[in-house]
Amino acid sequence: MYAVVKSGSRQYRAGVGDTILVDKLPAEVGEQVELSEVLMVAGDDGVQVGRPVVEGAKVRATVVAQEKGPKVFVFKYRPKERYRRRAGHRQRYTRLLVDEIVA
C-alpha cells in the first residue's frame, strides 16, 4: 500500500516503512507527524484518487532527523566592471519514517 502525499508545495510517494525527505517541518526528532493532504491511496483493494484530497485519509510518520541539503552556490558578475558576488545556500529538510497509512 502506498499514498501520494502533499507537503509544502511538493508531492511525495510514501509507502509504509519508507523514509521521505520533505521541506523542514516544525517538529522535534522522535515526534509523530500527521500528513493530512493525501492526494491518492493505492492498495490491494484498488486506487482512490482525491478531488483534490482523499477524504479521511492520513499518513502518520515519525521524524527521524532534521537535515541540511548540499550547498548551492549563486554567482553573479558583470563583465569588464570588477563586479562579482558569490552567495551560498543550504536548504533545510526533515527526514520522515512512514509508520502507517490510514485510508
- Summarised one tens digit per residue, pLDDT across range 5-21 is 999 999 999 999 999 99
pLDDT score recorded for residue 14: 95
Q: Is there a contact between 65 and 19 (Cβ–Cβ < 8 Å)?
A: no
pLDDT score recorded for residue 103: 83
pLDDT digits (tens, 9 = 90+) for 58-100: 999 999 999 999 999 999 999 999 999 999 999 999 999 999 9
Task: State mean pLDDT over 16-32.
Answer: 96
| Strand positions, DSSP E, 1-103 | 2-7, 10-15, 19-23, 32-35, 38-43, 46-49, 58-68, 72-78, 83-89, 92-102
